[in-house]
Amino acid sequence: MTLAHGREYLAIPGPSVMPDRVLQAMHRAAPNIYEGALADMVDAMIPDLKAVARTKHHAAIYICNGHGAWEAALTNVLSRGDRVLALCTGRFTHGWADVAVKLGAEVERLDFGNQGTVDHATFAEALAADKAHAIKAVLVAHVDTATSVRNDIKALRDILDKAGHPALLCVDCIASLACDTFEMDAWGVDVMISASQKGLMTPPGLGFVWFNDRADAAHARADMATLYWDWTPRSRPEFFYQYFGGTAPTHHLYGLREALTMIGEEGLENVWERHRRLAGAVWAAVAAWGQGGPLRFNVEDPALRTHAVTALSIGRENGKRLRNWLTENTGVTLGIGLGMYRRDDPEGDGFFRIGHMGHLNSHMVLGVLGSMEAGMTALGIDHGRGALEAAARACA
Ligand SMILES: *Cc1c(COP(=O)(O)O)cnc(C)c1O
């Protein structure tokens, strides 16, 4: 006997929960991929895709996951031998930088560890040291999904401007788009990438690159560009199939259309605010549990945390035990501690993550938190009292 039967909740930071409306929109026969309803739908969807990024500039859709979007962004603006500065606050900008190395860029990494944001003074020094403006692009994750650190992108733009440095500001918003507040144009972001399976609530399989005219000017000089990843026909197609370099990802597009409609109905500001409130409920519970046991935030300062996912440590082995217990006994699956470890925990088993991105509401979050309390009780993991009351108050 187990209490896990019933609707499952995958509380990992992507793929996120897919709304029934998105799944139902995808449940249909194959459409014509040359003209007609699908082509009209995609033409009409592009403005909504730009709106979710808060940009008036250009958007390109790729059939790929986030790793593909990394490659798409880089190949469109870089030439072999170009210098790239990667601002690493966890795992993901390292991953993007690895792609840049393999493509033939000369990559310099500033590593800010796993518990904090980009150090602004260090970034300013690196720019000041580059008097010849050899750095062509700065890579940074808005939110690092492994550490749950959120960087201040507007501040990074201000530092570039103050230094008078022309490098393109390239931002990975795979975890943050439609979760944390993000303003591509107002914050001066040149290139932004995301993927379908997190805040956009659509199955994994679509990657996106948004870019402005400055980035497009760099594109004209970039020798890494390849026919398949080239963003020009994808962002200004003469024929429908040029959007996708071949067969359209038909059913993903129907799913995405519905997800963007849902975001539009709720209002993007309300989507951001819902994520902020629900993250607050998670944090209230964690803070109370931590008063009487080993549970700790990976990022101490709430102002530096994303509203999309929370990385936690709970003592060696306990992360894995708790995750397994929840999956087996409650129907909730928590995220693994991705690439996280401390000296006393070489396997990273003490880390785990709660995904709270996309299609979720207070009953789902309170359910996850109640399940975690049950798990800690069943496993004999010490924890402070009043966590669920604090979370409920945060949702009130
Ligand atoms: C999920 C994620 C990725 C990787 O996306 P995939 O679809 O798994 O390739 C990259 N960057 C960030 C910030 C992410 O959250």
What CATH number is attached to the domain comprising 258?
A: 3.40.640.10
Mean of all residue pLDDT scores within the chain: 96
Query: Which pLDDT value is given to residue 346?
Result: 61
- Are 232 and 286 in the same domain? no
Query: Which pLDDT value is given to residue 338?
Result: 81
Q: Is the pLDDT of residue 343 over 70?
A: no
- What's the rounded Cα separation, in Å, for the pair 387 and 365? 13
> Residue 103 CA to chain centroid, in angstroms?
23
- What's the rounded Cα separation, in Å, for the pair 58 and 157? 19
Please compute the mean of the pLDDT values over residues 62-66 and round it to a whole number: 98
Please report which confidence band the pLDDT of residue 20 belongs to, taking 50, 70 and 90 as the band edges: very high
Structural domain contains residue 43: yes
Share of the chain above pLDDT 70, in %: 98
Is 54 marked within a binding site? no
Task: Please provide the DSSP assignment of 213-242 as one string.
Answer: HHHHHHHHH-SS--TTT-HHHHHS-SSGGG
Structural domain contains residue 3: no
> What residues are paired with 63 via a beta bridge?
206
Residue 232 in contact with residue 245, Cβ under 8 Å? Answer: no
Q: Which long-range contacts (CB under 8 A, 24 or more apart) does 370-374 make?
A: 371/326, 371/330, 371/331, 371/332, 372/285, 372/289, 372/322, 372/326, 372/332, 372/334, 373/285, 373/289, 374/329, 374/330
- Are 314 and 171 in the same domain? no
CA of 2 to the centre of ligand 1 (A): 33
Please compute the mean of the pLDDT values over residues 135-161 and round it to a whole number: 98
For the chain, how many structural domains are there in total?
Answer: 2
CB of 141 sitting under 6 A from ligand 1? yes
> Residue 357 CA to chain centroid, in angstroms?
9
Last residue of a domain, one of 240, 265, 290: 265
Structural domain contains residue 1: no
- Are 230 and 273 in the same domain? no
Please report which confidence band the pLDDT of residue 364 belongs to, taking 50, 70 and 90 as the band edges: very high
Structural domain contains residue 22: no
- Are 259 and 276 in the same domain? no
Query: Which pLDDT value is given to residue 216?
Result: 98
Please report which confidence band the pLDDT of residue 167 belongs to, taking 50, 70 and 90 as the band edges: very high
Q: Is the pLDDT of residue 339 over 90?
A: no
- What's the rounded Cα separation, in Å, for the pair 240 and 95? 32
For residue 151, the 8-state DSSP code is: -
CA of 34 to the centre of ligand 1 (A): 31
- Are 147 and 245 in the same domain? yes
Query: Which pLDDT value is given to residue 172?
Result: 98
Least confident of 91-95, 151-155, 335-339: 335-339
Domain of residue 96, residue span: 31-265
- Are 279 and 238 in the same domain? no
Last residue of a domain, one of 219, 244, 265: 265
Query: Which pLDDT value is given to residue 316?
Result: 82
CB of 339 sitting under 6 A from ligand 1? no
Adjacency order of strands within the sheet including 83-88: 58-63, 206-211, 191-195, 168-172, 135-141, 83-88, 106-111
Structural domain contains residue 56: yes
Q: In 2-91, where does DSSP find H-type helix? A: 20-26, 37-53, 66-77
- Are 41 and 169 in the same domain? yes
- Run of H or E residues at 104: none
Structural domain contains residue 4: no
Query: Which pLDDT value is given to residue 344?
Result: 59
Q: Scanning the structure block, which residue is given the tokens 């390292």?
A: 94
CB of 284 sitting under 6 A from ligand 1? no
Q: Which atom of ligand 1 is nearest to 144's Cα?
A: 13
- What's the rounded Cα separation, in Å, for the pair 322 and 299? 20
Residue 287 in contact with residue 270, Cβ under 8 Å? Answer: no
- Are 248 and 346 in the same domain? no
- Are 201 and 284 in the same domain? no
* Model confidence pLDDT, tens digit, residues 93-140: 999 999 999 999 999 999 999 999 999 999 999 999 999 999 999 999
Residue 200 in contact with residue 177, Cβ under 8 Å? Answer: yes
Please report which confidence band the pLDDT of residue 202 belongs to, taking 50, 70 and 90 as the band edges: very high
Structural domain contains residue 365: yes
- CATH number of the domain that residue 328 is part of: 3.90.1150.10
- Are 137 and 202 in the same domain? yes
- Are 117 and 210 in the same domain? yes
Please compute the mean of the pLDDT values over residues 43-57 and round it to a whole number: 98
Query: Which pLDDT value is given to residue 230?
Result: 97
Structural domain contains residue 21: no
Please report which confidence band the pLDDT of residue 317 belongs to, taking 50, 70 and 90 as the band edges: confident
Closest CA to ligand 1's atom 15: 175
Please report which confidence band the pLDDT of residue 323 belongs to, taking 50, 70 and 90 as the band edges: very high
- Are 193 and 139 in the same domain? yes
Last residue of a domain, one of 200, 230, 265: 265
* Model confidence pLDDT, tens digit, residues 254-312: 999 999 999 999 999 999 999 999 999 999 999 999 999 999 999 999 999 999 999 99
For residue 184, the 8-state DSSP code is: T
Of residues 370, 358, 340, 338, the one with CA closest to residue 274: 358
Adjacency order of strands within the sheet including 332-336: 9-11, 332-336, 351-355, 309-313, 296-297
Query: Which pLDDT value is given to residue 347?
Result: 63
Give me 313's structure tokens: 């440590």
Q: Is the pLDDT of residue 349 over 90?
A: no
CB of 172 sitting under 6 A from ligand 1? yes
